[in-house]
Amino acid sequence: MKNPTVEEILGNENYQMLHKLHYDSIIGFVFKNIKKKTLGSAVYLLSLVILIILILIVSIQAFSTYSMSFKEYILAFSCGFIIGSFLIIPFHEIIHALAYRLVGARKPRFGVDLKQLIFYVAADKFVVGRKEFYWVALAPFIIINLIISSVFVFLNIHYQLIALYFLFFHNLMCIGDFAMISFFHLHPKKKLFTFDILKEKTSYIYEYKEQIDN
């Protein structure tokens, strides 16, 4: 079934606004929803816990088996932190944009809010449903984790540590994507649609409620 347009949503009483999120309020929205007990927040937390365990295991091996020096360890940590927190940002957002293109958006746009240290991709007035939104939101997390996981066993201990810290800080920065997923998971039975209006710097989430004639 084809998704409705913004005009069809706004002009139809069957669609009711569930949430209006201004870009200035993203941080509060993110921390509120990532704390909810949903599958989205659980997957987010689990990914971080798994990486922490792997980091501990590899760190012990690095010091005990490979006699890694403290200086070498700090260097590996620093590289992982810089790559996972900063250098990966353009690639992360490009994957979001490509995912948008795959679901039909023709002109996804990149944005940044330095006050909140937020980078984002939005498609102006392009409506996506639940499944499409999941793909757009999770594409960078899935693709980047799969790529690193596929080459991890072929790396030496130094690069394994860099890769693990890189994934940890990248996944940590995926908190906004998982917070949105968590919000959707709070309404599992509702038919939801979301879109951005860039002129307003606002995201809208609407619920479709089909009217039943008596």
R_g (Cα) of the chain, nearest Å: 20
What are the residues facing 16 on neighbouring strands? 207
| pTM for the full predicted model | 0.94
117-164 pLDDT, tens digit each: 899 999 999 999 999 999 999 999 999 999 999 999 999 999 999 999
* Token pair listed for 165: 């810290």
**Average model confidence (pLDDT) across the chain:** 95
* Per-residue model confidence as pLDDT tens digits over 68-103: 999 999 999 999 999 999 999 999 999 999 999 999
Residue pointed to by tokens 């394994």: 160
Tens-digit pLDDT profile for residues 9-47:
998 999 999 999 999 999 999 999 999 999 999 999 999
- Cβ–Cβ under 8 Å, residues 207 and 171: no
Kindly report the three-state secondary structure assignment for every residue of 12-78: CCCEEEEEEEEHHHHHHHHHHHHCCCCHHHHHHHHHHHHHHHHHHHHHHHHHHCCCCCHHHHHHHHH
3-class SS of residue 129: strand
* Residues 6 or more apart in contact with residue 177 via CB below 8 angstroms: 137, 138, 140, 141
